[in-house]
Structure 1
Amino acid sequence: MQPFADEQQLQCPYCGESVEVTADPVGVSSETYVEDCPVCCRPWVVHVSREGEDVVVHLGREDD
């Protein structure tokens, strides 16, 4: 059985709006990818870390 995706409420680093980010709980221990904000359309850098059952997601600005 595949574990359910982990949904987290985070704040867009550009517009400050609360956004829902979904991360798969299964995968490499650390990954980074770019995704656009559904509110302001600016590009986030999404950092996902997995350790055991814990999934931590952090949003950064692409221009940092």
Structure 2
Amino acid sequence: MENTAEYQCAYCGEPNLTFVDLSAGEYQSYVEDCQVCCRPNILYISIDPDRLEIDINSEYEG
């Protein structure tokens, strides 16, 4: 099951939309390029399984 969530680019601060696979576990992390500045962001995702709320934090890669 997939859902969308928004995160703020760690480099340029612009909002980005990403897909989150809810079946991949409560805690996930992966690298995704910003849709605006194309720089890589490490996304740390936590999902509340009871409410299906998604929390995303991003940081610089490297």
TM-score, structure 2 normalization: 0.74
- Which of 23, 27, 45 is the equivalent residue of 2:42? 45
Structure holding more helix per residue: 2
- Which of 16, 19, 22 is the equivalent residue of 1:22? 19
Q: Which amino acid aligns with 1:44?
A: N
For 2:60 and 2:46, locate their aligned partners in 1 and report how far apart those are by CA, in whole Å: 17
State the percentage of identical aligned residues: 32
Structure 1 runs, 4 residues or longer, greater than 4 Å off? none
For structure 1, the 5+ residue unaligned runs are none
Q: Rg larger in 1 or in 2?
A: 1
TM-score, structure 1 normalization: 0.73
How many pairs were matched up? 60
User: Residues 6 and 56 of structure 2 are in contact (CA less than 8 Å); yes or no, is this contact kept in structure 1?
Assistant: no
Structure holding more strand per residue: 2
